[in-house]
Chains A and B, each alone.
Chain A
């Protein structure tokens, strides 16, 4: 089809998407960057204050840095636990055992449930267990932290497992067979053949767990809402509370959001570089 003929149809093909995208994403994004340098309570009364908000975000109290530390620690622990468990499950489910499909379906299911519902399900379960010891999840930040880790594992293990299964099934069978004939033990096969061969899957799963954990909001809100004393507040929730919980601090909230965006963008950039490099090497 002639390119110029299609071009005439721009208003029908592109305009609806472009208008919605511009109004609800591009404009708010640009406004957000601008407003991070101003003080405002409603957007129309914004006053330019330079880098004040950014300085305030880090120095006026310990909240933001604490949330950053809590989120980072939580992310690291989640990456390790989720990947170890999901890889182990994938190994068990690629042995041709009967019922493999049913198991796969069961492990995958929690991934489809929304964050708010997930949070309250685990709130019920964890508080039910803790009530035997006369405490609840808001008793200590440690409980909230491990509660979030368990919840995240429950949500993500099945998902990562499916990616690992696909990776393991891509390993040529004769490679493992040849190694066994040469006398390699199952452990040697695992560490010298299976693990190196699924490296691309490991990269994908690591970054998926990383971004999922780092940006977590709904689960955090429903499980602990930051209690006790905002010690289990993660970055996204801290930004939300700065916006909607303190009058006159909207500018600081927006500055925190920009910092949050920059960190997430940096992670995405590193991921892109790593995966591109890997593809070239192969």
Chain B
């Protein structure tokens, strides 16, 4: 009797979870559906399925991709995200190792500066940062990668430092006795041990840079658009004349890399994003 009662209860919860999961997927499904619909029906009948006269097949994707140079924005976003993550990982892991191994007032102060930067909201520095970047002529696709190093340094140094503190010194000493200089010691011995932290930091930064809107908008302007900037400008730019069909296709193309990335490395992503919870 009690067993049957429990089974019924479990079934009800399972059903409830199915309904909730379906509700959670509705917004994403809606964008997918509308990306195959004629622009005329996107805002007038957003919940209709793209069949009959409403459907346009892949036309939105072709228009959206070619008309506004979205394909170029996509490539630009991929480049900035990949280069930004690589630069942050290499530079900040070296800095963190130096901070831990060369203990002193200077490195300690530096560490607290990095930690401090994590709590400063972007609005506090955005105007003056854009000015500095402009003056230094870093307002291009390569320059912005270094801007991301500056803004990503806080969290990355903080997380690497936390991990390196637990790395035993003996291994490094052995390497130096064998004739390794610090650079060799770091890349041959230490860096491979940082793998799991490096993956976590890579994921956090990849999500951040790929999704970031305001920083690339201020640094690169409206000519060299990244994906979020292109999306915002497509909507903001032309009142009433917006190609809603093409816009839906853009949204889908912005989400697809994230979903593929998520399915491919889900375990690391959930772990990594939660580890980033320390960021204020």
Contacts and interface: CB of A to CB of B under 8 A. Distances in A.
Interface of A: 1-3, 5-10, 12-14, 16-18, 20-29, 31-32, 35, 43, 89, 92-93, 95, 97-99, 102-117, 120-122, 124-125, 127-128, 131, 154, 158-159, 162-163, 166, 204, 207-208, 211, 215, 217-218, 221-222, 236, 239-240, 243, 250, 253-254, 257-258, 260-261, 264-265, 267-268, 271
Contacts of A29: 120, 124-125, 128
B251 A243 contact: no
Given A28-B132, A112-B262, 9 more contacts: A1-B175, A13-B97, A21-B117, A25-B129, A103-B21, A106-B24, A113-B211, A114-B211, A264-B119
B277 A236 contact: no
Contacts of B94: 12-14, 17
Given A1-B173, A29-B124, A120-B231, A154 B146 contact: no
Interface string B42-70: 11101100000000000000000000000
Interface string B136-153: 100000000011011101
A113 B114 contact: no
Contacts of B228: 114, 116-117, 218
Nearest to B259: A109
B264 interface: no
B273 A120 contact: no
A26 B114 CA distance: 10
A20 B47 contact: no
Interface string B21-48: 1001111101100100000001110110
B102 A17 contact: no
B113 A97 contact: no
B79 interface: no
27 contacts: A7-B102, A9-B183, A13-B186, A17-B149, A17-B153, A20-B149, A20-B153, A21-B153, A25-B151, A25-B153, A28-B131, A35-B127, A35-B128, A43-B128, A89-B20, A97-B14, A103-B20, A103-B21, A110-B24, A110-B28, A117-B228, A120-B251, A122-B27, A128-B46, A207-B280, A218-B213, A264-B121
A112 to B, nearest CB: 5
Contacts of B10: 95, 97
Secondary structure at the B interface, as helix, strand, loop or mixed, is: helix
Nearest to B212: A114
B199 interface: no
B167 interface: no
B17 interface: yes
A248 to B, nearest CB: 14
Interface of B: 10, 13-14, 16-17, 20-21, 24-28, 30-31, 34, 42-44, 46-47, 91-92, 94-95, 97-99, 101-103, 110, 113-114, 117, 119-129, 131-133, 136, 146-147, 149-151, 153-154, 157, 169, 172-173, 175-176, 181-183, 185-186, 207, 210-214, 228, 231-232, 235, 247-248, 251, 254-255, 258-259, 261-262, 266, 269-270, 273-274, 277, 280
B17 A103 contact: yes
A166 B271 CA distance: 11
Given A14-B95, A28-B132, A121-B31, A116 B124 contact: no
Nearest to B99: A14
Given A24-B132, A127-B43, A221 B232 contact: yes
Most buried by B among A89, A128, A222: A128
A264 B270 CA distance: 26
A35 B125 CA distance: 11
A218 B226 CA distance: 15
A217 B214 contact: yes
B219 to A, nearest CB: 9
A258 B146 contact: no
B36 to A, nearest CB: 14
A28 B95 contact: no
Contacts of A1: 101, 169, 172-173, 175-176, 182, 185
Contacts of B173: 1
A117 B123 contact: no
Given A18-B110, A115-B213, A240-B123, A23 B153 contact: no
Contacts of A24: 129, 132-133, 146-147, 150-151
A-B pairs, 3 with minimum CB distance: A114-B211, A24-B150, A128-B46
Contact of A107 (B21, B46, B210, B261): B21
B147 A20 contact: yes
B21 A27 contact: no
